Amino acid sequence: MQYVLALLFFMAGSGLSYAGLKAWDNSRINGTKKQVAALLKDAEEAAEKLRQSKVAEAKEEVSRLRQDAQKDIKERRNEIQRTERKLEQKEDNLDKKIDRVTKKEDELKAKHEELEKRRAVLEQTIQQQEIKLQEVAEMTKDQAQELLLRKTEADASHMLGLRLKELEEQASREADRKARDIIIGAMQRCAVESAGESTVSVVPLPSEEMKGRIIGREGRNIRAFESLTGVDLIIDDTPEAVTLSSFDPIRREIARRAMERLVVDGRIHPARIEELIEKAARDIDEEMITEGENAILELGIKNMNNELIRTIGQLKFRFSYGQNVLAHSLEVAQIAGIIAAELGVDEETARRGGLLHDIGKAVDHQIEGPHAALGAELAKRLGERPEVVNCIACHHDNLEVGSVYEVIVALADAISAARPGARRESIDTYIKRLKQLEEIAQAFDGVTRAYAIQAGREVRVVLNAGKTDDGTVHKMAYDIARKIEAEMKYPGQIKVNVARETRASEFAK
């Protein structure tokens, strides 16, 4: 019984405990729910406030952008209005100028008609006066003229006899002075402006004593230098300087570098001169390759033949109408690329055609023919694309245009060449004359080298000692001079200087 009661009490206690715990859990859960509800409400209120804030900021940003856009539109509208007013003003001015020109034309036409009428009246009056004079003098017009001429001749013959000797003496005194004045005036107007800058290089010297060493014993050094380079070496009264003159810029540059190295080295004799000239020629060859590579890198051109690259570098030393051909070609390429970009066609093809359009000028002194045809043939032989070859061939309107690239290159070439001061006409004619002199001399059998020097006043010809003898030197000079007289037109005279030299070399081992 006691056990039963104890069990009942235990069970009752357990029930009460469970009921109490359950009530406590329910109360705790309800509290938690209230907290969650409060948090959710606070979060919703915060979210609402954030949304309203963002909406307000967005409205302000939209308003600011709208104001900026309206301001920009207003400024553009004002600019357009100003431009329209300027155009209208220019149009009004043009109309006024046209009216003035038309009025002037009408006035000139009226004056011309009035002059024609007066001339007709004057001719009629002269005819009437001649008829009256013939009636009064009882002789014809021809008879009166003959009588007057006989009397005039009789009076003038005596005066002419007295003045003739005086005039001859005065002419003799003034001839030399006037000739010098004319030549100096022509040099001031033409030579310094066009030929001098492109055909002469000045090499400074450390002292006047160096001039004697350059000339050498009996002139052997200067003769060797001029013979090997084909450049005229001028040693005059200019203090501490010598002048190199040649129409060929590559030849002149080789001579200039060789002379500078000779001056620095100090050992001036024919063997050393030949050695340094050969070294300068190699340096120039390397420089031409470098210049060609720099040109294609600057323009972003890829996959070009190495021989074409070297030929492009040669254009650095080539001038056309006083304009450097490489600089002109680079400018044409840049302009052609810009035009191609605006038209939406391939820029690289346009730049390639612009760079190579005058490539024929690097070889036109070696091969006969127009530089456009020579350049197109060279580019085609070295694997250039057909559209680039056509750009070269057609840039002077020699052929019918077949693509837009040909028009672009021709236009860019015209733009570059037509700039004020870009070209000079006289230097190109001068260079052609000197080249023709050299070509005439080199056409004779046995001639190894021929150089036009002294601004075309002398041709220096070197004969092959193995193919000629001393007896042919004078005849060769005579034949060359006669051919120059027959094929060329030039003022003054040209000296033909023919030399035959036998050289031998051996090595001591």
Per cent of the chain over pLDDT 70 is: 79
Taking residue 334's Cβ as centre, other Cβ atoms within 10 Å add up to 18
145 and 131 share one domain: no
* Any domain includes 228: yes
Strand order in the sheet with 447-453: 447-453, 458-464, 495-501
More confident: 241 or 238 = 241
Q: What is the pLDDT of residue 455?
A: 67
DSSP-assigned letter for residue 242: E
Q: How far apart are CA 438 and CA 482, in angstroms?
A: 14
Q: How far apart are CA 316 and CA 256, in angstroms?
A: 16
Task: Please report, as a single letter, which amino acid is at residue 330.
Answer: L
pTM for this model (two decimals) = 0.45
* Any domain includes 5: no
SS3 content of the chain, % helix, strand, coil (to 5): 75, 5, 20
Last residue of a domain, one of 184, 203, 222: 203
Q: How far apart are CA 353 and CA 411, in angstroms?
A: 12
189 and 222 share one domain: no
330 and 373 share one domain: yes
> Residue 273 belongs to a domain with what CATH number?
3.30.1370.10
124 and 149 share one domain: no
216 and 193 share one domain: no
* Any domain includes 300: no
**What's the chain's average pLDDT?**
79
- Alpha carbon separation from 220 to 266, 449, 460 (Å, rounded): 16, 18, 16
128 and 164 share one domain: no
144 and 170 share one domain: yes
Helix (H) or strand (E) holding 449: strand 447-453
Task: Please report, as a single letter, which amino acid is at residue 268.
Answer: I
Helix (H) or strand (E) holding 389: helix 386-394
Backbone angles phi, psi at 246, to 5 degrees: -165, 140
Convert the pLDDT of each residue in 381-420 to its tens digit.
888 888 888 888 887 766 667 788 888 888 888 777 755 4
The residues, ordered by sequence, that sit 6+ positions from 264 with a Cβ below 8 Å of its Cβ are none
Give the domain range for residue 467. 428-501
Pairing type for strands 323-324 and 232-234 reads unpaired
CA nearest to 274, candidates 205, 325, 225: 225
Q: What is the pLDDT of residue 206?
A: 84
- The predicted model gives 354-371 an average pLDDT of 77
Q: What is the pLDDT of residue 180?
A: 46
Q: How far apart are CA 35 and CA 491, in angstroms?
A: 118
Last residue of a domain, one of 396, 423, 450: 423
* Any domain includes 34: no
327 and 419 share one domain: yes
Q: What is the pLDDT of residue 191?
A: 33
* Any domain includes 340: yes
509 has a pLDDT exceeding 80 = no
Q: What is the pLDDT of residue 198?
A: 54
* Any domain includes 452: yes
Into how many domains does the chain fold? 5
Q: What is the pLDDT of residue 190?
A: 28
388-412 burial, b at 16+ Cβ within 10 Å, e below that, comes to: bbbbbbbbbeeeeeeebbbbbbbeb
* Any domain includes 508: no
Residue 436 sits at the vertex; the CA angle it makes with 430 and 441, to the nearest 5 degrees, is 135
389 and 475 share one domain: no
> Residue 348 belongs to a domain with what CATH number?
1.10.3210.10
Q: How far apart are CA 194 and CA 428, in angstroms?
A: 9
197 has a pLDDT exceeding 60 = no
Token digits of residue 161: 């006899």
Q: What is the pLDDT of residue 427?
A: 59
Last residue of a domain, one of 389, 423, 457: 423
337 and 419 share one domain: yes
Q: How far apart are CA 68 and CA 73, in angstroms?
A: 9
Q: What is the pLDDT of residue 179?
A: 44
410 and 336 share one domain: yes
Classified as helix, coil or strand, 203 is strand
Task: Please report, as a single letter, which amino acid is at residue 351.
Answer: R
Token digits of residue 474: 């004078």
pLDDT bin (cut points 50, 70, 90) of residue 80 is very high
Q: What is the pLDDT of residue 32?
A: 83
Q: How far apart are CA 424 and CA 355, in angstroms?
A: 21
105 and 165 share one domain: no
Convert the pLDDT of each residue in 214-230 to its tens digit.
888 888 888 888 888 88
* Any domain includes 312: no
Q: What is the pLDDT of residue 2?
A: 67
